Amino acid sequence: MRMSQLFSQTLREAPAEAEVDSHRLLLRAGYVRPLGAGIFSYLPLARRSMTRIETIIREEMDRIGGQEITMPVVHPAALWQETGRWYAIGDELTRFQDRADRDMVLAMTHEEVVADLARKEINSYRQLPLLVYQIQTKWRDEPRSRAGLIRVREFTMKDSYSLDLDEAGLDVQYRAHYQAYFNIYHRCGLPVLAVASDTGMMGGSLAHEYMYLTPIGEDTLLVCEATGYAANREVARFAKPAAAPEAPLPMEKIATPGTTTIDTLAALLNIPKARTAKAVFMVATLLEDQQTVERFVFAVIRGDMEVNERKLANAVQARELRPATEDEIRAIGAVPGYGSPVGVKNCLIVVDDAIPASPNLVAGANEDGYHYRNVNSGRDYTPHVVADIAAARDGDPTPDGRGTLREVRGVEVGNIFKLGTRYTVALNATYLDKDGQAKPIIMGSYGIGVGRLLACLAEHYHDDKGLLLPISIAPYQVHLVLLPGEGMAEVADRVYQALTAAGVEVLYDDRDERAGVKFNDADLIGVPLRLTLSPRALQNGGAEFKRRRDKDSRIVALDDILPTMQAEIAALYAEIRAGVVAVPYR
């Protein structure tokens, strides 16, 4: 491609709204242009890089038995109503009506459509297992798009769906995806970590996220290098310090003026925070009979811990959680700062699983200035739900107690889910087994955001001059720079034609620009190999060659340019292949 004809231009400065390096560089290098909040046009350079990523994805999906299909972006609402997600998902799901007043949705994912296809196409156990995938546009109306391509509203995703006879078959396909995803990221050159994650709106029994570790990440992860434990904070577990066993003592009211926090209460009574019970007041939006209702949730956790709101939401199957107001707190019989579950009414009491094993705690008396000593779960109040609702923190012990958790930040670049029968039962997608009995098809769902992957690669591979993209995903392999001089255009044209005829992908800067502009643009665009044809280089014996990531250059004779470029390309690909390794399943 001649840069004089390229439908793109570089920018000297990035727009002020560009927040992170990848956003600034992809804008400045002419890869993308914003159209609206979280909506981008992908110009030729980005399109070529994304096509390379998609080719890698297709090859790895085909390798594990995938068959590519294409499903619609617009869905009849009836499918989403059958599975219940029409009612369970909030404003992120875009709903509209067509000209015949039929309810429709814009696809944010395609589980419903796959289950619908399965119920129409699959009849017998002989047709299973199957794996289908697509690379398709999705729409998710994010409340706040950010960081360029990191969080957008319209995006391209590879989503695949496994269809199996039973859980054992699902496990095989899930583990195949687990490694295939690592192969994809390794071939793109991006280091990632697989972490246990929340199943969220997808549902199912198990999920992993693939995380690129970076300070700009929105997700907080808890990891331990010593034990290999890794989980999103939303689901991370830890070994909770056990309370000393004691016989339950009689409950007694004590005066505790001015102690509306755990810290002041523990200081007044000269006890460790682990001997107190912390009250957290929330209001949950629940789905009941396909209608949303609000229920007061009274969460109780030991004073040495914090509530994880995602775990709490999962424990009560809440669509949303919000803090309760003071009036709402008093309406159940509790008092802010002095609340406990003793004697409250009209609320859902959820206690952390460490509470039943922690006897004789100090808890609020639901009266200003007073607490109770020796409050015991099961005797003094009855919880409706007992679950792990504690937030893991930096420095906590790993679940097995053999390591220490460390907090890191990450960007999710892919996820895999064991859905089970979540969608197939709802849509009656069944097969007949060997005995002629109808059984629900077992599903898995697996996604990769292509644009976000490109953004993370740009975040990982850059310097103060611009991008340094890996050969496997760079838009071109060689950047050929022509500098002015008598007869130089003819020489450069011959080199360009010879390289392209041999299958080398070349970005040829034939523009009438100053040398400094051309070199700055080459650094900015980040093609891995650079050839410069100039009068001085010719006088020194040929063309000046350098790798984008290196400081030093060397002269390559004109007759040696093609074999040299082919050897350099092969060497860079060999580096990529060496990084594609098997990863233990965790």
Give the pLDDT confidence of 370-384 residue by residue, as tens digits.
999 999 999 999 999
The alpha-helical segments, DSSP class H, found in 305-432 are 309-316, 326-331
Neighbouring C-beta atoms of residue 291, cutoff 10 Å = 8
Residue 544: the pLDDT is 96
Query: How far apart, in Å, are the Cα atoms of 295 and each of 134, 234, 534?
Result: 40, 22, 74
Q: Where in the chain is the domain with CATH 3.90.960.10?
A: 252-387
Residue 198: the pLDDT is 82
Nearest CA to 443 among 162, 225, 54?
A: 162
Token couple for 126: 């002989």
Backbone angles phi, psi at 154, to 5 degrees: -105, 130
Rounded Cα distance, 28 and 15, in Å? 9
% of the chain exceeding 70 in pLDDT: 100
Confidence of residue 200 (pLDDT cuts 50, 70, 90): confident
Three-state SS annotation for 420-467: ECCCCCCCCCEEECCCCCEEECEEEEEEEEHHHHHHHHHHHCECCCCE
Asked if the model's pLDDT at residue 199 lies above 90, the reply is no
Residue 372: the pLDDT is 97
Q: Mean of the pLDDT values across residues 59-75?
A: 98
Residue 397 DSSP one-character state: B
Token couple for 244: 């000393």
Query: How far apart, in Å, are the Cα atoms of 401 and each of 220, 229, 303, 390?
Result: 21, 11, 21, 16
Residue 451: the pLDDT is 96
Asked if the model's pLDDT at residue 203 lies above 80, the reply is no
CB 462 within 8 A of CB 28: no
CB 190 within 8 A of CB 492: no
Query: How far apart, in Å, are the Cα atoms of 185 and each of 58, 353, 453, 568, 584?
Result: 13, 38, 9, 22, 15
Cis peptide bond prior to 336, omega within 30° of 0: no
CATH of domain 16-236+407-459: 3.30.930.10
Rounded Cα distance, 317 and 418, in Å? 18
Residue 299: the pLDDT is 97
Give the pLDDT confidence of 17-52 residue by residue, as tens digits.
888 999 999 999 999 999 999 999 999 999 999 999
CB 311 within 8 A of CB 390: yes
Confidence of residue 201 (pLDDT cuts 50, 70, 90): low
Torsion from C-alpha of 393, 394, 395, 400, nearest 10 degrees = 60
CB 508 within 8 A of CB 450: no
Confidence of residue 204 (pLDDT cuts 50, 70, 90): confident
Q: Mean of the pLDDT values across residues 77-106?
A: 94
Q: Mean of the pLDDT values across residues 516-545?
A: 95
Asked if the model's pLDDT at residue 65 lies above 90, the reply is yes
Label the pairing between strands 506-509 and 478-482. Answer: parallel
Residue 2 DSSP one-character state: B
Residue 144: the pLDDT is 87
Rounded Cα distance, 410 and 412, in Å? 6
% of the chain exceeding 90 in pLDDT: 91
Q: Angle 319-325-328 (CA atoms, 0-180°, nearest 5)?
A: 90
The superfamily CATH assigns to domain 478-578 is: Anticodon-binding domain (3.40.50.800)
Neighbouring C-beta atoms of residue 102, cutoff 10 Å = 11
Classify 190 as helix, strand or coil.
coil
Confidence of residue 16 (pLDDT cuts 50, 70, 90): confident
Residues in the chain: 586
| Average pLDDT taken over every residue of the chain | 95
Give the pLDDT confidence of 283-314 residue by residue, as tens digits.
999 888 778 899 999 999 999 999 999 999 99
Asked if the model's pLDDT at residue 268 lies above 70, the reply is yes
Asked if the model's pLDDT at residue 512 lies above 70, the reply is yes
Residue 384 DSSP one-character state: S
Confidence of residue 422 (pLDDT cuts 50, 70, 90): very high
Give the pLDDT confidence of 104-131 residue by residue, as tens digits.
999 999 999 999 999 999 999 999 999 9
Q: What is the CA radius of gyration of the chain?
A: 29
pTM of the prediction?
0.91
CB 148 within 8 A of CB 27: yes
Q: Where in the chain is the domain with CATH 3.40.50.800?
A: 478-578
Q: Where in the chain is the domain with CATH 3.30.930.10?
A: 16-236+407-459
Looking at CATH, the fold of the domain delimited by 252-387 is given as: YbaK protein (3.90.960)
Q: Mean of the pLDDT values across residues 323-336?
A: 96
Nearest CA to 296 among 278, 322, 261?
A: 322
Classify 221 as helix, strand or coil.
strand
